[in-house]
Structure 1
């Protein structure tokens, strides 16, 4: 069975049954991840894990683009 490859993950700090930061630290570096959350204090940790962007709620359309 062929598994589809993951090209992009969009994570939040608080997800059901998972902490997005914990998951992010366990992922291989070749998966592109964007963190979308209301927590500004985790940005530096997220960028140390090869995240491509960290968006803080509320997100404007121009910031998302």
Structure 2
């Protein structure tokens, strides 16, 4: 086996193909992780903005209920 150049070429080619396949899988995994992180970050910022808005509206409601005049509302 170690003397036959054809078999050596085949084994080298097989190893290279395995490396390429592994690299492709790793690239897909890293891109998937990156997408998931971006999605989580987007969702987080949306939730923070929503909470901020809710706090503001609740504060305005409480102020108007207590009789404070709020200009523009």
Q: Could you say which structure has the greater relative contact order, defined with CA pairs below 8 angstroms and 6 or more residues apart?
A: 1
Both proteins in one fold, TM over 0.5: no
TM-score by length of 1: 0.17
In terms of fraction of residues, the more strand-rich structure is 1
Instruction: Mark the structure with the bigger radius of gyration.
Output: 2
Instruction: Flag the structure with higher helix content.
Output: 2
